[in-house]
C-alpha cells in the first residue's frame, strides 16, 4: 500500500464576473511545493484560466497510462523517444445518477528510437497491458478508450 496526499486551499472571494456569487478558484498543493491553480469548469462558473477537476481527472488517467506504457516498453527492450497525448473526457448526465465523466479518450502519439522498433501489433499489446494495469483507470467507472494513431 502507498499513501498519496495533496492539499486544497480556498478562500471566499467575489466571483470575477458575477458579484452575486462566490469565486470557485482555489489552489491544489502537490509534492515539492507545486501549486496548481484550479477552479470549476467554465460551464459551472469556473475560471477558464485555471485547471478544472475534470481536466485533472483525464490528465491523471493519461499520465498513468503513459507511465505504464513507458515501463512496459522499456522492459520489453523498446526505447521510447517521445510520447504525446491530448486526452478528452466527456461529462454527461446519467439519468437520476447526475453528472459524471462517462468516457475518456486517449490519443497517444509515440515515437521510438534505436534499433528495436515495435510493430503496430506489439504497440497495441503494450497499450492493452498499460490499460489493464493503470491504477487510475482501475479506480474509475468511466470507459477509457485508446485511439491508436
**Does 57 lie in the same domain as 33?**
no
What predicted TM-score, i.e. pTM, was given to this entire model?
0.92
DSSP 8-state code for residue 130: H
Confirm whether 63 is domain-assigned.
yes
Confirm whether 2 is domain-assigned.
no
Confidence band for 20, pLDDT divided at 50, 70 and 90? confident
Are the CB atoms for 41 and 54 separated by under 8 Å? Answer: yes
Q: What is the pLDDT of residue 149?
A: 64
Confidence band for 16, pLDDT divided at 50, 70 and 90? confident
Number of domains in the chain: 2
Per residue in 86-140, pLDDT (tens digit) is 999 999 998 888 899 999 999 999 999 999 999 999 999 999 999 999 999 999 9
The residue range of the domain holding 36 is 7-44
For the record, the C-alpha cell of 40 comes out as 470549476
**Does 102 lie in the same domain as 84?**
yes
**Does 123 lie in the same domain as 71?**
yes
DSSP 8-state code for residue 45: T
**Does 58 lie in the same domain as 122?**
yes
Amino acid at each position: 500500500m502507498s499513501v498519496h496526499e495533496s492539499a486544497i486551499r480556498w478562500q471566499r472571494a467575489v466571483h470575477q464576473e458575477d458579484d452575486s456569487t462566490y469565486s470557485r478558484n482555489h489552489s491544489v498543493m502537490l509534492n515539492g511545493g507545486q501549486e496548481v491553480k484550479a477552479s470549476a469548469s467554465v460551464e459551472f462558473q469556473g475560471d477558464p484560466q485555471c485547471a478544472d477537476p475534470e481536466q485533472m481527472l483525464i490528465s491523471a488517467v493519461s499520465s498513468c497510462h503513459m507511465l505504464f506504457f513507458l515501463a512496459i516498453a522499456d522492459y520489453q527492450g523498446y526505447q521510447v523517444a517521445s510520447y504525446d497525448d491530448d486526452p478528452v473526457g466527456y461529462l454527461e448526465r446519467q439519468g437520476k445518477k447526475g453528472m459524471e465523466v462517462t468516457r475518456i479518450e486517449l490519443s497517444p502519439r509515440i515515437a521510438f528510437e534505436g534499433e528495436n522498433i515495435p510493430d503496430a501489433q506489439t504497440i497495441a499489446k503494450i497499450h492493452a497491458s498499460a490499460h489493464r494495469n493503470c491504477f487510475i483507470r482501475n479506480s474509475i467507472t468511466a470507459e477509457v478508450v485508446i485511439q491508436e494513431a
